[in-house]
Structure 1
Amino acid sequence: MSTTTIEAGPHVTAAQPEERGRPGWTAAVEVLLIAAGLARLVFGQQLGPVADGVDRLRSITALLAEGRVDHSEYSLMGPLFSTPLWLLGKLVATPEAGIRYFNLVVFTAGLAALALLLRGLVPGALIRRFLLLTVAASMIAPDVGHYGSEPFTMIFVMVGIVVVVRGRRRGWGWASLVVGAVNTPATLVGLGLVSLSQLWRDRRLRLALPVVAAVALVLLEILVRHGGYVGDRGSRDIMPFSGRPGFSYPIFFGLLALLFSFGRGLVWYLPGLFLPIREPLADLGPTGIDLARVHRLWLTFLGGLLLVYAPWWAWYGGMSWGPRFFLAGILPASLALALRLGHRQARLGADLLTLAVLIVSVWIGVNSLFWHELWPTACFPSNQAVEALCWHTPEYSSLWYPLVSWQFRYLTAGQWVSAAYSGVVLLWFGVPLVRRIGASTREAWRERVAPRLVRAEWRW
């Protein structure tokens, strides 16, 4: 067998122990929960292009309706794939009526592709947990409801990485990576790091070709459209480095903000990213695909995004819910949490950490669906002098402001049903975890605490 290829049979019997001890109906319940979560994304929010999605719609409309290319700074790669929906929408009502579902279609197709690629290589229970967490316990909602570039790039890049690691038809995987990166040119650095990682591992110089192809396609589009990033600057506010143009923000402070700020920090919005998975992977046993390498390459791509966006003046992504530039982090975060939830041999501290991340992740799913357009007026007075309150403080962050303003009193009946769905997901994953925590606590009490409370052992 080649050292650069992982050959997998149709079934991996060594990965089946996780399936044992689970009633057969649990798989059906999880499939229904995944389907309900996808339906919630369709019917639980208003769909349509906003912000730069409006520019993308204008670009594809100019191309399809007028036969011309405009000079937008946003790539046409993703919008070109939405052509069938644009045409269908125009046939039924308006082009917007079709493309408003584009990112939802891309997201759903991407999850289906991941399920098919992993089927038979890892336990089905792990795949279902991963998909359900991605749908119901992540910040995906507002982005699939809009016409932005991030969901398209996330799916094409991350699915492409799985194809590359899987070892079959790797050329298609690299092509998917190129298409996803070209759609959001800032992600070329992430593609470069993934390519470099594989080049170093396999010692194949041709693995640099995807980066060359992606750069060439970006430059070609800029040349044809006379577009590209022209540079701008934000408003001057109370923060010391605000109002600067382009990529002039101190990278040290940019990294701190992207990782730890309460309004945009990955620690808070993608907590699963920071869960260690070495022991859960060992507990999982042999699999037909190197999940550790998939996870590592996903994180490598995200590392490239951090390097790009940290020095940009708009590192916070404008008026969006959470760190939208890092939407691709949903998949490694969900995979890590799915692995931890299935790790039956975990220690008490590890299970407590997993429970905390699970609770926050489910809250993220609810919050991003209900209140992604909720903006505290205190952050945006007429001169925007204190908008950094929303990026840096916990009380005004997208994640916690609904608790400060107690938005639950405004929920509709449909939203309460949606909240109940999130409660079911939390209980579905949380109850077995709490049972494990209870068993570990009783064991710790018997072995470590109770012996120390024996009266004869205590002296003055």
Structure 2
Amino acid sequence: MSAPSASDVRDEPEGQPEGQPEADARQPPPPGPPGGKTAAVVERILIAAGLVLLAVTPRPPMMGDGLARYWALIQLLERHQISELPYSLIGPLFATPLWAVGRWYGNPQVVVVQYNLLLFALGLAAIHALLRDRTDPRLLRRFLLLLVAGSMIAAHVQDFYGEVFTAMTVGVGLLAATLTGTGRWTRLAGWVAVVLGVANTPPTIVALGLVVAVLCFRERRIRYLSVLLAAAILIIAEAWLRFGDPLHSSYANNGGGETVMPYSGEPGFSYPFPLGVAAILFSFGKGLLWFTPGLFLPVRRRLREEGDPAGGDIRSICLLWTVFVAGLVLVYAPWWGWYGGMYWGPRFFLFAILPACLALAVCLGAERAGVLAHLGTLGAVLLSVWGAANSLVYGQLRPWICYENNWRLEALCHFTPEYSPLWLPFVETPALTGPQRAALAGYALVLLWLVAPLLVRIARRTSTAARGQRHLLAWRDWHW
């Protein structure tokens, strides 16, 4: 099934004068303030250095689903056999060129393990290419810098798990397919990427359904349903080809071990839905509030106050990305394995770094916001950069008490602060190598660069407010 054509995917916004040149959507933003060129150079250096740091960090051995996907790929390419692995092979298949290079090199696994980092770098390049002529370059650079050094991506580019493929293809695909002023082939490529990403993780079709519903109601077009149908057909076709059953699912009868938790040991979607939502959003070990705090910032309000530098595109893509995250929460909340197993942070919700980092970038530039709003942004940036540094430097630090005795006390790692990966380094305080200390210093530099203007605005607003209330300290006005 083909994706919608360019004319079908996006109409001109209501209220736009007829005959207005499409090039208006691509007009470059106004020039930045003095010193903007220096800031641009510094931020580009920080982005490049962050990618280099992710590339040179030693990789731990492949484990879990990542190792299973790797062996399924090897089985297909070298033995010409289709694995019975319950996970999709769509994402791993795109690593075939790396496997070929690895065979020539003599160690395919060493090369294939770089796959997710390559996907992430290509995703950043695509986002830059799509937005560079449509939005404020300062906002775009902050967004990319936060994705590199203010998100949990470091924990995901060190193995061969499938979340990076889905996050990059769906995230960048939605951006390419819905931006104003893009060409037919760009939009078509965007929808193809979305379909591939969703098929790579079949439960995400629920999230795509919510996005399609938003697009249908917003544009008053039903043609977007073809995207949902294409993803469903691809999922069914792979299941039919590999298992002989078009409705095959690896989730229905899959159950975890019995632990101290009252709803453990039951297969399928047996977790109480309200408790699952609360855990996904707020638990100390996996909660999006702590790992992607930008999701909880009032980005749409900030865009209304400051003005959308991309003429509505930033507000639109932020909405679509957030709706997709909401769909992920809905589909994983009733599943017993909502936490993603023995993994650093909320594994199934890597996609959330896109709207979270975009919201942070917008709020960092919101000069009209009040002191409380700035303090909220400051807290979110602190958490985000610390999470990024933590996932790289302390990503292999694990409280093994959570996994002993057949994961009997696993819930400690999900719900308690002391065993959360974010706070465990303050409890156990492991010894660090020289490169690890240098990496932490680099993240500290990024943090200082991002929050320095924010701290200046907070100081100025606080000073102004204090001067306005000096009469409260006048001793002559005080009485017994």
Change (3 A) 1:8 1:221: same
Partner of 1:312: 335
- In the TM superposition, what is the alpha-carbon distance from 1:45 to its structure 2 partner? 3.6
Partner of 1:451: 471
- In the TM superposition, what is the alpha-carbon distance from 1:201 to its structure 2 partner? 1.4
Change (3 A) 1:184 1:383: closer
Cα-to-partner distance string for 1:226-245 (whole Å, 9 max, x where unaligned)? 16416321111111111111
* Residue identity in the other structure for 2:453: P
Change (3 A) 1:8 1:358: farther
- In the TM superposition, what is the alpha-carbon distance from 1:280 to its structure 2 partner? 2.9
Between the aligned partners of 1:195 and 1:276, the Cα distance in structure 2 is 23
3-state SS of the aligned residue for 1:144?
Answer: coil
1:264-413 alignment runs, 5 A limit? 264-282=286-304, 283-288=306-311, 290-407=313-430, 410-413=431-434
* Residue identity in the other structure for 2:237: L
3-state SS of the aligned residue for 1:24?
Answer: helix
3-state SS of the aligned residue for 2:366?
Answer: coil
1:4 aligned to which of 1, 8, 11: 11
* Residue identity in the other structure for 2:256: G
Between the aligned partners of 1:104 and 1:363, the Cα distance in structure 2 is 20
Cα-to-partner distance string for 1:397-430 (whole Å, 9 max, x where unaligned)? 11111111122xx110011111110111011112
Partner of 1:436: 457
Partner of 1:210: 227
Cα-to-partner distance string for 1:1-48 (whole Å, 9 max, x where unaligned)? 9972464547535x426x223342111111010011011111124155
- In the TM superposition, what is the alpha-carbon distance from 1:361 to its structure 2 partner? 1.0
Between the aligned partners of 2:23 and 2:148, the Cα distance in structure 1 is 27
Cα-to-partner distance string for 1:218-260 (whole Å, 9 max, x where unaligned)? 1111111116416321111111111111111111111111111
Partner of 1:16: 30
Between the aligned partners of 1:314 and 1:199, the Cα distance in structure 2 is 32
1:242 aligned to which of 255, 264, 272: 264
Change (3 A) 1:24 1:107: same
2:48 aligned to which of 30, 35, 48: 35
Between 1:311-320 and 1:279-288, the stretch displaced more is 279-288
Between the aligned partners of 2:307 and 2:213, the Cα distance in structure 1 is 29
Between the aligned partners of 1:233 and 1:60, the Cα distance in structure 2 is 25
1:84 aligned to which of 93, 97, 107: 97
Partner of 2:17: none
2:85 aligned to which of 72, 77, 101: 72
- In the TM superposition, what is the alpha-carbon distance from 1:213 to its structure 2 partner? 1.1
* Residue identity in the other structure for 2:401: A
* Residue identity in the other structure for 1:428: W
3-state SS of the aligned residue for 1:258?
Answer: helix
* Residue identity in the other structure for 1:38: L
- In the TM superposition, what is the alpha-carbon distance from 1:294 to its structure 2 partner? 0.4
- In the TM superposition, what is the alpha-carbon distance from 1:383 to its structure 2 partner? 3.8
- In the TM superposition, what is the alpha-carbon distance from 1:451 to its structure 2 partner? 2.1
Between 1:321-330 and 1:36-45, the stretch displaced more is 36-45
RMSD: 1.8
Change (3 A) 1:378 1:47: closer
Between the aligned partners of 2:264 and 2:320, the Cα distance in structure 1 is 33
Between the aligned partners of 2:429 and 2:416, the Cα distance in structure 1 is 17
- In the TM superposition, what is the alpha-carbon distance from 1:341 to its structure 2 partner? 0.9
Change (3 A) 1:453 1:8: farther
| Count of residue pairs the alignment pairs up | 455
Between the aligned partners of 1:21 and 1:248, the Cα distance in structure 2 is 58
Between the aligned partners of 1:439 and 1:354, the Cα distance in structure 2 is 16
3-state SS of the aligned residue for 1:374?
Answer: coil
Partner of 2:114: 101
2:236 aligned to which of 211, 219, 222: 219
TM-score, normalised on structure 2? Answer: 0.91
* Residue identity in the other structure for 1:75: S
Q: List alignment gaps of at least 5 residues for structure 2.
A: 1-6, 14-21
Partner of 2:72: 59
Structure 2 residue 280 is the aligned partner of structure 1 residue 263: no
Between the aligned partners of 2:100 and 2:406, the Cα distance in structure 1 is 42
Sequence identity of aligned pairs in percent? 43
